[in-house]
Structure 1
Amino acid sequence: MKGRTIALDHLNGAEAAALIVDGRLEDLVVDTDAPRPGTIYRGIAERPVKGQGGMFLRTPDGSAYLRQIKGLSPGQPLLVQVTGFAEPGKAIPVTTRMLFKSRYAIVTPEAPGLNISRRIKDDDMRDRLLEIAHETMTGEAGLILRSSCSGADPDAIAEDIDSMVQLSAQVLADGGDTAETLLEGDGPHALAWREWTEAADLDTAEGSFERHGVLDMLDALRSPVVALAGGGSMAIEPTRALVAVDINTGGDTSPAAGLKANMAALRDLPRQLRLRGLGGQVLVDPAPAPKRDRKQMEQVLRAALKQDATETVIAGWTQLGLIELQRKRERVPLHEVLA
């Protein structure tokens, strides 16, 4: 089925959103009991971690860990924002550099200045956006206008900016001294509206996942093995320490079998990690291929990661010929959500 579809539904009673492009599942967000990224707390500093330059904070949802602690002392209240999901048994990762995100605008209280997405190339459009921003912005906070502003209604953009400016001012004006949740992060349905901004058919009626085949696609994601074009396969298996990815050529015995399997796997790897909610250290064991093919494989992987919103760093090749990645933990692993 051609085209883009956004399905908003529930899985096991939890809010969920799916993005389907040309009949293939491109993204999936499922709500959990864990604190959502974007949540803002008034936290209370508890104890520093000597040698690591960090400090544990008390929040309504448990212990949080902050890396930047210069000038911070135990017992001091401060505003922090959740940056990702914590691994089991670990503290919630937080930062003091808060972002207030919406569909068109991101307000950055700690980073003054006005920036427009580089994806907007049209000079006239950029000039119009600058005018809207200058007319709407108040205070000293910074502003980022997102690529979704291209072709959007100017009034909607101005309203979005104003809403985020007011929200940031309200939160930053907090003067309390006890641990409290000041702002909940966006749930899956709000995230779909905020992040999946390209034109798409929207299905919000109950049962949309079943109508669009999302449930069958989820069943396929329960398996660690991903079939690749040409007969190869890729196995993605999370462990406590890292995510192991093994690429195999299958029944293809041609001289270029390794390169073909690796290229197909690396093109699809960011999508598979995104759908499975996997992050942290990722080690990829490519199918056998000459060293001269490594540059080409890296180019394919970089191009695929460029289309993925999750921050991922290619650390390089290990001495054993593995590709090492470091990926931000932005979601709870799917196998935990579906358990």
Structure 2
Amino acid sequence: MSERKIIINSEKLETRVALLNDGKLEDYQVERKNKVNVLDSIFLGKVVNIQQSLEAVFIDIGMDKNAFMHFSDMIPATYDQANLRESEQNNPRKFVKLEDIPSKFPIGSTLFVQVTKGSIGTKGPRVTSNIAMPGRFLVLLPFSDHIGISRKIEDRKERERLKKLILKLPIPKGMGLICRTNAEDKKGIFFKREFNMLLEKWNTAENARKESQRPRMLYQEPSLLEKSIRDFLTEDICEVVVDDHNEFNQLKDFINKAAGKGLSSKIRLHSKAMPIFEYYKVEEQLAKILERKVSLPSGGYICIDETEALIAIDVNTGSSHGSRNNAEIILDTNLEAADEIARQLRLRNIGGQVVIDFIDMSSPFHNDVVLKRMRKNLKNDKAKTHVLPISLFGLMQMTRQREQQSLLDRVYDPCPYCRGTGKVKSPLSTSVEIQRHLKEILKRKSYDKNLSVRVVMNPTVLARLKNEDNCFLMELEDRYGKALSFRAEPSLHIEEFKIVDPSNGESFF
């Protein structure tokens, strides 16, 4: 049986949570404490713009950027919030039409919304009016009377038992509940306790709305610390280790209230001198997460490139070899890649469109084997995924739900030197550009017999000019009979240069 652990590193500026399976990093989350967590939080929003062509509205939620909400994300909760007649509320779906939404919620209307996707780049958050408040065992649905059981609970008798326990709860009219996977085999007392807690949180949000109609946050999703325990701490977790004494006590109290003393006994305080992520060998694994190249066990490797439009992943055999035939080696390498890609997508928290260039396989059966392995690996991913079969070009296309910035974007800023491209002009390219400008200036100023020109540039470019390109500069001097001088300036970008008059420092262009 595998040994699963949750390792928590809590510091002044950030909290990091790692899920280990036999020492191997399986999930990783980081939260910066100086940033407001908006994902899954509930806001009072005000409609500020309606775009019929997009079938969407833009909503002021009190943040820098307006939120985006598609008409489909307003159904059926829209009708509950619009205070329709009682007869219509009994069967809201029957009366729901997309074209009715603008008339029910004109500009200036206010409504409850929940953030389903945080701000990414220049885009504001995406929201829905179909609110869901998750707990450890239950999810409260304030605007839906749906009662459901997690599909991952497959035992028929257990599903019936859970449904009976939920129906015994005093659920207010018009509200619903979903039973999460963690609820399996749990007693009804846990559901009653958590239901009351979730209902109290919702009532607090509703009362806050009555105080003011100003767009603002009404309920904030718990911190990463609490969410990790809520979502990850299951019976198969052998221990939770945290390195902060206050967080240790907080976790103990939270687990005692939510799940009982049985699970709270798994909480451990890391008191050793060695940092917790180093002690559990998490740090060395994290160092490899954001590398472009990821090695595979057999000697192959994958390359991961994040772009604005999509995520491109290339699979290579590398040093893979053996006594078996080539087709078997390629299949095994692709299967290893499928395992690692699913893990990397989760660890790096990358989503959107993903294109995977597997090594070409001649057998349709092998293509199908890789597809099934990929879908199996993604089955337990919290983000929604959709995978297409491998195409004739050997490409697998898939999508992964993107709720917030990727780990790369959260940890790194774009390089100010290369402006995020990862590339700069070569010294040769800059040298050619300098020579082109010099030739133009010397031709334009050929009438000035006293003309002298100074070029200031990065030392690397100057080294190129004085060595490989020296003959071209001497040719320019001989042809135009002008004095040229060159100076190195380390503070200049490798792509930058100045062509000035040394007598007064004025630029020629």
User: Which interval holds the TM-score relative to the shorter structure?
Assistant: over 0.9
- Name which of 188, 212, 215 aligns with 1:179: 215
**1:20, distance to aligned residue in structure 2 (A):** 0.7
Name the aligned partner's letter for residue 73 of structure 1: P
SS of alignment partner, residue 278 of structure 2: helix
Tell me the residue number matched to 1:130: 163
SS of alignment partner, residue 255 of structure 1: helix
Task: Give the unaligned 5+ runs of structure 1.
Answer: none
**1:9, distance to aligned residue in structure 2 (A):** 1.5
- 1:197-208 equivalences under 5 Å are 197-199=233-235, 200=237, 201-206=239-244, 207-208=275-276
Task: Give the unaligned 5+ runs of structure 2.
Answer: 75-100, 245-274, 413-509
What is the TM-score when the length of structure 1 is the normalising length? 0.92
1:93 aligned onto 2:103: no
> Which structure's relative contact order is higher, taking Cα pairs within 8 Å and 6+ residues apart?
1
Q: Deviations over 1:96-133 (max 9, x none)?
A: 11110011001122331321223334444334323321
Larger mean Cα displacement after TM superposition, 261-270 or 32-41: 32-41
Name the aligned partner's letter for residue 146 of structure 1: R
Q: Equivalents in 2 of 1:334, 1:204: separation in Å?
A: 22
Tell me the residue number matched to 2:5: 5
Tell me the residue number matched to 2:358: 286
Which is higher, the Rg of structure 1 or of structure 2?
2
Q: Equivalents in 2 of 1:156, 1:230: separation in Å?
A: 47
Structure with greater proportional strand content: 1
Tell me the residue number matched to 1:65: 68
Tell me the residue number matched to 2:20: 20
SS of alignment partner, residue 110 of structure 1: coil
**1:16, distance to aligned residue in structure 2 (A):** 2.1
Structure with greater proportional helix content: 2
CA contact (8 A) 2:68 2:126 kept: yes
Q: Equivalents in 1 of 2:222, 2:392: separation in Å?
A: 42
Q: Equivalents in 1 of 2:401, 2:223: separation in Å?
A: 19
Q: Equivalents in 1 of 2:363, 2:119: separation in Å?
A: 37
CA contact (8 A) 2:19 2:25 kept: yes
**1:2, distance to aligned residue in structure 2 (A):** 5.4
Q: Deviations over 1:282-334 (max 9, x none)?
A: 11111121251222111111111112111011144456331111111124211
**1:81, distance to aligned residue in structure 2 (A):** 0.6
RMSD value, Cα: 2.2
CA contact (8 A) 1:36 1:187 kept: no
- Taking every aligned residue pair, what percent have the same amino acid on both sides? 24
1:145 aligned onto 2:183: no
Q: Equivalents in 2 of 1:118, 1:48: separation in Å?
A: 36
SS of alignment partner, residue 83 of structure 1: strand
Q: Deviations over 1:266-297 (max 9, x none)?
A: 12222211110101111111112125122211
Q: Equivalents in 2 of 1:122, 1:100: separation in Å?
A: 25
- 1:1-339 equivalences under 5 Å are 3-10=3-10, 13-32=13-32, 33=35, 35-62=37-64, 63-68=66-71, 70-71=101-102, 72-139=105-172, 140-172=174-206, 174-175=209-210, 176-199=212-235, 200=237, 201-206=239-244, 207-252=275-320, 254-290=326-362, 292=364, 293-318=366-391, 320-339=393-412
**1:153, distance to aligned residue in structure 2 (A):** 4.2
Q: Equivalents in 2 of 1:261, 1:322: separation in Å?
A: 15
CA contact (8 A) 1:85 1:330 kept: yes
Q: Equivalents in 2 of 1:297, 1:18: separation in Å?
A: 28
Task: Return closer, same or farther for 1:145/1:8 CA change in 2, 3 Å cut-off.
Answer: same
Task: State how many pairs are aligned.
Answer: 339
Q: Equivalents in 2 of 1:256, 1:296: separation in Å?
A: 12
Q: Equivalents in 1 of 2:193, 2:395: separation in Å?
A: 48
Q: Equivalents in 2 of 1:120, 1:170: separation in Å?
A: 32
What is the TM-score when the length of structure 2 is the normalising length? 0.63
Name the aligned partner's letter for residue 64 of structure 1: A
Q: Equivalents in 1 of 2:30, 2:162: separation in Å?
A: 33
Q: Equivalents in 2 of 1:136, 1:86: separation in Å?
A: 37
CA contact (8 A) 2:10 2:243 kept: no
CA contact (8 A) 1:103 1:194 kept: yes
Q: Equivalents in 1 of 2:363, 2:3: separation in Å?
A: 39
Q: Equivalents in 2 of 1:34, 1:163: separation in Å?
A: 23
Q: Equivalents in 2 of 1:296, 1:2: separation in Å?
A: 25
